[in-house]
Amino acid sequence: VKGAPIIVTKKNLKKTGGVARAVIVNSKNANTCNADGEEKAEKMCSLAANALGIKSEEIIVASTGVIGQVLPIEPIEAGIKPLVDGLSYTGNEAAATAIMTTDTVPKCVSQRVMLDDDEITITGISKGSGMIEPHMATMLGFIATDVAIGQDLIGKVVKMVADASYNRITVDGDTSTNDSFVLISTGCSNARPIESMDDPRFDDLLDSLIEVGQKLSQAMVRDGEGATKFITITVEDAKNEAEALKVAYAVAHSPLVKTAFFASDPNLGRILAAVGNSKIPDLDATKVSLWLDDVLVAKNGGRAPEYM
């Protein structure tokens, strides 16, 4: 089930070949599972476009909040002019605050990066607290950089960033209808455009984008509804990435593992059982080892002799 803003944004980006000039977001109402949802999302685009003097299809629209409630368009109509009048280079935190729903803190990250002799900026905002589990959940994420990234390249980059950040988190294992992650390249810096992965500056740019994405996505986990601990799960020596992810999410989603972590109980049996529940057909449990931080607690599928 896709929210109306997702459908309309995809249509707009298809019309423009991936080019957008503005983003409009509302919170508190997901504009999803409504008969007039797409009409309302398109209206949001036209309102923003008219106020900005651009085309409606050049707008990315996103909504987050309660699913299944009719979105009233009147507050958005009344709010467009003040929003446009209030646009500023320092408005990131205000935007991050405005899109919060059950979040308790705004999530905003900005950093400057040197690419050869040119300084570029990467800035991102996100919202998310509950219904957090890839594919990205009730999560909105927007990262912008002022270096120009080639149109043929940026579609690959956005997936690389998401797969290393937003698509590696979970709070409650529930996904949502309105997941949106947008990577924006404005080309406003003096740096030469990056058109290919062969560009010697590409790896530094990608690493920096991923770093911002990870800081934002981890901030959502730390702000998770009811969360009291932040846990990182690392899987080593898997056959491939897909197998590693199966194990990681089997552990992360296990209610028994979560209750053990909540109680600060190093219950290695629950973790090993979750590994076994990862549905890897040829898993050899006698070769599984388990560390909690740097303490080896299980070896060859059972309690490590040195762990008492």
Residues with a catalytic annotation lie at: 138
For helices 74-85 and 37-52, the axis angle rounded to 10 degrees is: 30
From residue 105, alpha-carbon distances to 38, 94, 130, 222 in Å are 30, 12, 13, 10
From residue 103, alpha-carbon distances to 71, 140, 163 in Å are 21, 12, 23
**In a 3-state reduction of DSSP, which class is residue 297?**
strand
Q: Which residues does residue 140 pair with via DSSP β-bridges, in sequence order?
A: 127, 180
Q: Which residues does residue 183 pair with via DSSP β-bridges, in sequence order?
A: 143
Q: How far apart are CA 67 and CA 57, in angstroms?
A: 25
Q: How far apart are CA 92 and CA 256, in angstroms?
A: 39
| Amino acid at residue number 86 | G
